[in-house]
């Protein structure tokens, strides 16, 4: 779905011409390109699906574009490097074929990837009969993918900054709240709950940063690809596990905390069985609360992006209104401790 006032990076006809010219120049072959179709999702980057004939080869492709003014944390060069590293490490990801970090020739940084057939819409994944068998496999497959991501060699990841400790991450979130200049007392309570419970810095790994239902391509056989790596960073691998359990990513399947597919215990057991370090329940809870707080602050920032005029978008505005959901979820997660006087 394309929202009525979501700005297009370029009309599909203009994008079709630019893609044809770019692929022809990159391959030295005659290229024919179908009209690109914008894919749903992606509040910070645009994704367009298209087919191309490059010489005698027919290809199903996706181009990912950075629209002007969009709040994209990681650069295209970084995401391309990470996708290639992940693919070499056995993580199921789309193969990156071409890309440029400059504004030319598509008007902004971009990358062209193979198109993986499958579904990303959580409502369908969690409810449609087509994915009934996949739902039984997803916790184990996601745990395996996370263990693979966290096992990638970080000495070759020179496109990311230094790792930040849990206490530093909490400091970053507090700074963001202060910068917003508007009251969010539940966010303040969550920070006060988190600060004394922050785990000691442990093993540093590549963290996907947005591993959740909606950023996974799924077929009837289960997980096919992990996408949307722009928030990847170095840090505690348990952060990804907690983020996967945030209630927003269950899309109504609240009784199944692990992405709407299974229990927290199943996730932790499958992650350890796949080679990940054993994570205890209290550490997972810390990162789930942290992830809920982080998503709530992101919601407010997305609203600011719309309201400031940087990117006028109904999608960003709607995401901004979800901050109150995160406040409710935070109170649900830490409420017992608050009423029992165990804030610190």
Q: What domain count does the chain have?
A: 3
* Residue 331 placed within a domain: yes
Is 1 inside any structural domain? no
Same domain (yes/no): 155, 127: yes
Find the CATH number of the domain harbouring 45. Answer: 3.30.200.20
Do 141 and 263 have their domain in common?
Answer: yes
Residues 176 and 78 grouped into a single domain: no
Decide if 292 is inside a domain: yes
Pairing relation of β-strands 46-54 and 57-65?
A: antiparallel
Find, among 69, 50, 60, the residue nearest to 108 by Cα: 69
Same domain, 221 and 137: yes
Q: Residue 155 is part of which domain span?
A: 117-161+205-279
Question: What is the domain-level CATH number for residue 140?
Answer: 3.90.1200.10
> 257 and 142, same structural domain?
yes
Is the sign of the CA dihedral 29, 49, 244, 316 positive or negative? positive
Distance CA 46, CA 13 (A): 15
| Residue 268 shares a structural domain with residue 304 | no
CA 164 to CA 172: how far, in whole Å?
A: 10
Residue 7 lies in a domain: no
pTM of the full structure: 0.90
**Position 106 in a domain:** yes
3-state secondary structure of 334: helix
In a domain, residue 231? The reply is: yes
Sign of CA dihedral 265, 270, 271, 272: positive
Spell out the residues 6+ positions from residue 269 whose beta carbon is closer than 8 angstroms to its own: none
The answer to the question of residue 136 being in a domain is yes
Looking at the structure, tell me whether residues 172 and 48 fall in a common domain.
no
128 and 246 together in one domain:
yes
Task: For the chain, 344 residues long, give each residue's pLDDT as a single digit of tens.
Answer: 233 333 444 556 689 999 999 999 999 999 999 999 998 765 567 889 999 999 999 999 999 987 665 544 557 878 889 999 999 999 999 999 999 877 678 878 899 999 999 999 999 999 999 999 999 999 999 999 999 999 999 987 777 889 999 999 999 999 999 988 889 999 999 999 999 999 998 899 999 999 999 999 999 999 999 999 989 999 999 999 999 999 999 999 999 999 999 999 999 999 999 999 999 999 999 999 999 999 999 999 988 888 888 878 888 888 888 999 999 999 999 988 888 788 87
């Amino acid at each position: 779905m394309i929202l009525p006032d979501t700005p297009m990076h370029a009309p599909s006809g203009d994008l079709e011409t630019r893609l044809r010219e770019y692929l022809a120049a990159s391959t030295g072959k005659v290229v024919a390109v179908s009209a690109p179709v914008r894919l749903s999702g992606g509040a910070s980057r645009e994704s367009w699906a298209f087919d191309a004939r490059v010489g005698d080869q027919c290809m199903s492709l996706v181009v990912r574009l950075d629209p002007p003014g969009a709040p994209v944390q990681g650069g295209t060069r970084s995401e391309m490097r990470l996708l290639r590293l992940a693919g070499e490490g056995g993580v199921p990801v789309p193969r990156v074929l071409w890309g440029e970090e400059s504004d030319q020739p598509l008007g902004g940084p971009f990358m062209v990837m193979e198109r993986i057939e499958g579904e990303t819409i959580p409502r369908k994944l969690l409810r449609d009969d087509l994915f009934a068998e996949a739902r039984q496999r997803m916790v184990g497959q996601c745990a395996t993918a996370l263990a693979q991501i966290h096992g990638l060699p970080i000495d070759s990841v020179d496109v990311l900054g230094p790792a930040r400790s849990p206490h530093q991450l909490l400091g970053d979130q507090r700074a963001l709240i202060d910068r917003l200049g508007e009251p969010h007392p539940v966010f303040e309570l969550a920070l006060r709950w988190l600060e004394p419970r922050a785990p000691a810095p442990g093993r540093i790994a590549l963290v996907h940063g947005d591993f959740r239902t909606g950023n996974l391509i799924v077929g009837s056989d289960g997980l096919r690809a992990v996408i949307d790596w722009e928030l990847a960073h170095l840090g505690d691998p348990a952060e990804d596990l907690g983020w996967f359990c945030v209630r927003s990513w269950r899309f109504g399947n609240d009784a199944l905390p692990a992405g709407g597919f299974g229990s927290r215990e199943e996730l932790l057991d499958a992650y350890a069985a796949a080679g990940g370090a054993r994570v205890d329940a209290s550490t997972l809870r810390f990162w789930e609360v942290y992830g809920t707080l982080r998503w709530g602050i992101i919601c407010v920032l997305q609203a600011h992006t719309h309201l400031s005029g940087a990117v006028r978008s109904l999608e960003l505005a709607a995401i901004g209104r979800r901050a109150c959901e995160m406040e409710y979820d935070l109170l649900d997660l830490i409420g017992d401790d608050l009423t029992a006087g165990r804030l610190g």
